[in-house]
Amino acid sequence: MRLLEIENLRTTFDIHVGSVQAVRGIDLHVDEGETVGIVGESGCGKSVSMLSLLHLLPDYARVTADKIAFGGTDLTKMDAKAMRRLSGDQIGMIFQDPMTSLNPLFTVGSQLIEPLRIHKKIGEKEAAQIVLDKLRLVEIPDPESRMKQYPHELSGGMRQRIMIAMAIMCDPRLIIADEPTTALDVTIQAQILDLIASLQKKLGTAVIMITHDLGVIAGMCQRVVVMYGGVIVEEGTVREIFYQPRHPYTWGLLRSIPQKSGEKKKLVPISGSPPDLIAPPPGCPFAARCPYAMNICNSAMPPMRPVSDTHSARCYLMDEGAPDVKWEGIRA
């Protein structure tokens, strides 16, 4: 069952120096209970595309889409007010930085109880009981006393658990986790990822996992969407992306995963920097950094080409007659 379906989502920020074309027409779908990863370097439009969906961008952002459907409802016709009824209830959002995402002046308990008081018509006592249940679910020790504490009294990992509890408070159908571990200590990162993965299994909720690290995806996602310069350059199942990647950018991402298996850690960063989004190149956004770029890559945006039912990529190397460049694995 389709839960979320997005077609041709575009987001532009009108600022004084020009229009930042942060998202340039992305298609995305998520099935009920499915975990989809979105990967890409920072600045490629991952957060903006999700925030566009939830109407969480500032008013100088222009969002258009041919279709946004969530559980059968058309979201393109919804205004911010109508969207508020969905978000926090059917869609839970986990943000990147737990240190700044909680209001410093309210107790954790009062912030946790808010979505319940807004979306479910239940009393204070019943709501408090649900909050305690959720806190236990995210493995927070001594939840009763945690509820009375203020965010600054908790560690980063603990705060992110609070954010997760908040996101699942109303038993949403979709959880969007925007780089939930980027701001945390390395030691805590794995714990939080494990927690999200185990919650996903327990609750059967669909998850969109945003990250700039393919390593995170491998462990918990069924499908992967690779974004670059505001567009999707490749998407497929985890197997397809890891074993038969077709886009040179995906190759670069795979090579930049730290390899722990060998004697030495081998990490190959992609050289160059992402395109200017105010005046994006007319062709493939990755062309300037791509070692295999041809003339056509600079002049016209390659279309999304299917490889299989689930796998497609946006690259001229897939054309007949193009130079024979093949993915030779991480070690190559």
Distance CA 128, CA 137 (A): 14
321 binds ligand ADP (CB under 6 A): no
Stretch in the footprint of another protein (CB under 8 A) among 13-21, 115-123, 204-212, 241-249:
115-123
Strands 35-39, 223-228: pairing is parallel
150 binds another protein (CB under 8 A): yes
In sequence order, the 6+-apart residues with CB closer than 8 A to the CB of 186 are none
22 binds ligand ADP (CB under 6 A): yes
Residue 67 DSSP SS3: strand
Shortest distance, position 124 Cβ to another protein, whole Å? 17
Distance CA 9, CA 55 (A): 13
Using the structure block, give the residue that is written with the tokens 């945690």: 146
236 binds ligand ADP (CB under 6 A): no
Shortest distance, position 92 Cβ to another protein, whole Å? 8
The listed partner (another protein, Mg ion, ligand ADP, none) that binds 13, CB under 5 to 8 Å by sort, is ligand ADP
The terminus-to-terminus CA distance of the chain in angstroms comes to 40
Per DSSP, what are the bridge partners of residue 94?
Answer: 177
Stretch in the footprint of another protein (CB under 8 A) among 4-12, 13-21, 101-109, 237-245:
101-109
Q: What is the dihedral of CA 243, 237, 169, 195, to 10 degrees?
A: -20
The listed partner (another protein, Mg ion, ligand ADP, none) that binds 48, CB under 5 to 8 Å by sort, is ligand ADP
Backbone angles phi, psi at 202, to 5 degrees: -65, -45
* Binders of another protein in range 73-92 (CB under 8 A): 80-81, 84-89
40 binds ligand ADP (CB under 6 A): yes
Q: Report H helices in the chain.
A: 46-53, 80-86, 108-119, 124-137, 143-147, 156-167, 186-203, 214-220, 238-243, 248-255, 295-299
The listed partner (ligand ADP, Mg ion, another protein, none) that binds 208, CB under 5 to 8 Å by sort, is none
Stretch in the footprint of Mg ion (CB under 5 A) among 43-51, 56-64, 86-94, 255-263:
43-51
- Return residues touching ligand ADP (CB under 6 A): 13, 15, 20, 22, 40, 42-48, 58, 277
- Return residues touching another protein (CB under 8 A): 51, 54, 56, 80-81, 84-89, 93, 95, 97, 100-106, 114-115, 118-119, 150, 152, 163, 166
- Return residues touching Mg ion (CB under 5 A): 47
